[in-house]
Each structure stands twice: as C-alpha cells, then as structure tokens.
Amino acid sequence: MKLFSWLPIIVPALTAWAITPWVIKIVKKLGLIDYPNNKAKAIHTTPLPRGGGLAAFVAISVALMIFLPVDKITLSIIVSLAVITIYGLADDKKDLNPYLRFLLQIGVATIPVLAGVRINFTTNPITQGVLTLGGSENLLLRALPFVFSVCWIVFLMNILNMGAKGIDGQLSGVVTVSALTIALLSQKYSADITQWPVIVLSLIVAGAYLGMIPWNAYPQKIMPSFSGSNIAGFMLGVLSILSTAKVGTLLVTLGIPIIDTFYVMTRRVLAGKSPVWGDKGHLHHRLLDLGIGKRQIAYLYWASTAILGMIALNLNATSKIYTIVGVAFFLGGLALFFEYAKNQKSGS
C-alpha cells in the first residue's frame, strides 16, 4: 500500500500528538483541572488537566477538510464536533447536570441526521433479509429512521463516556480499534464507491485517537473527559450508520463497555440510585480491586475490543445477537466472581 493511502490516519495522529501539549497548557489556564478528592469515583491520586477532547476535535476537523469533500455531511460533523467540544469544556469547568448533558447530546446528534446520516434499513436477524425503515405513508413510521439514528448516536456517546474512559489510555485505544474495525468493514464493500469516504473517515478517527494515546496512556498527562468520550461516541455512531448501517458490528465490537454499562445502570436503579450518577462499580474498578494495574486493564480493553471486532466482521445478524448474549453472560459471571472475592476479602 502506498504511503498516500496511510495519510488519513497519519495526519490526524501527528496532529493530535503535536497539539496535545498546547491543549494541556490551555486547559490549565482555563482552570479545567480534575481534583480526585472532589469525586467518589476518581481513581487518580493527583490533579489532572481535563479537556483532552479538544485535541481530538482539532485533529479530526483538520483531517476532514484535507481528505474529504466539504459537503453537507462533512459540515454537519464539524459543527457537531464544535458543539460537543464547547459543552464538553463547560462540563469540565462546572460539571453539568447529567440530564442537561443528555439534552445537549440529543441536540448535537440531530445535526448529522438532518444532513442525511440515517439508518434507513437494517438486517432481520431471523430471516437475514433487509428491513426498510420509513418506507410508509404513515408519518410516524416515516420518522423511524430519524428517531433510530438520533437514539443510536446518543446511545454510543453515553456508552463511551460511562463504560470506556475510566482508566488511563482506555478510551483512546478502544476508539482506535473500533474505528479501524469499521474501516475494515467498509473495505469489504469497497466496490461501492460510497464506502470510500467512510473508510477515509474511519481512518481519520482512528488516527486522532491513536495520536492521543501517548498522552492518555498510563500515567496519563491529560484526561479525555466528557468532550473526548462524546466525540468518540458521536463519530463511531455516524461511521456505523454510513458504513451500510452495520450497527450490529459495532454493538459486538463494543460489547464489553456496553454490557458493563447496562449492568452498572441496572444495579444503581435496583439500589434506588440515579442510573447516571457515577460510582466505582464499573468493570475497570472491579479489576483494580483485584490488584490489576491500570496499564494492564487498558491493554485488556484494547485486546477484547480487537478480538470482538474481528469476530463481528465475520458474523451474520443472528450470530451477532448470540455473541452479545454470550458477552453478557461472561460479564455476569465476572460480576458474581467479583462479589465472591469481595465477600471473601471482607470476611478474612
């Protein structure tokens, strides 16, 4: 493969890597610092600058304007990323109410959907046939592609924020692997010229977060924070829709953080707590309690994402459902093991 083919991943990677030191200086001047003593769920022991998503925003936006035509979808993505960065930095400063953040996510997810990024069809997991969405005279049914697309993007923004950014380097590695998985998926359909921009966009996202790994990996110099995770979830949501609406592939690829977040939110609700207020009940917290290091936990997330991604590329819709159920049972077993280990430790 010629060097030019790698530029969509090289340019954003170098951009993110090069500007992050400047981002660190900027957020420090703005007072965007995370103090561990202010949060019960914090696992870092020293104050860290927040706002790492600013580097991702710049890297992705610059690469978009270099490698892709500036059309309404490209512009909608850049505008959305700018809005995410603004409210993400505001959250880093003031810790916005989770329900306000949710409303902002809905608003920002609507922008690319209005530009045409929509789930217009999906695969029937039973017959393997294609289910067309919105092909009806009924106004409510015609709105399905719009509603499903917004919900999907918002869903991923929250999954990446809640289940994939608690450990140094965790988010950057998971997003890099997930974006590369979508690039490989789109490569399967490379005979369709509409998939080439998706491949390029996937490489751009992978490159941006790859370039952030040296700064986010243990011991991290800056936290990706809300903006970094929301940009990641937003971009993966858009990519999975553009990539022939293969949302099932991404569901499997992100199976660990998705199921982990579901379990954590369910536990909070059953305990009479808000499902969106953070605690130390995620998988990475449990692994830390077992004495596993932060670097090793990040590698575990990267590896599991890569393995599930490779599996997902070779599964049909029905097999993807079975795989997700299998991941759920596996994590459920881990949760029982963690409780047993905790009880044994407290009883000794």
Q: Which residues fall in the annotated binding site? A: 161
What does the block give as tokens for 181? 């998985």
Q: Which residues are annotated as a binding site for Mg(2+)?
A: 161
Prior bond of 8 cis (ω within 30°): no
Angstrom distance (rounded) from CA 171 to CA 230: 11
Helix (H, G, I), strand (E, B) or coil at 48: strand
Angle 230-124-144 from CA coordinates, rounded to 5°? 55
Cβ contact 249:311 at 8 Å: no
- What is the 3-state composition of the chain as percent helix, strand, coil, each rounded to the nearest 5? 70, 5, 25
Sign, CA torsion 59/62/66/69: positive
* CB neighbours of residue 117 within 10 Å: 23
> Closest by alpha carbon to 12, among 87, 62, 54, 85?
62
Sign, CA torsion 188/192/198/204: positive
Residue 236: DSSP 8-state: H
Prior bond of 219 cis (ω within 30°): yes
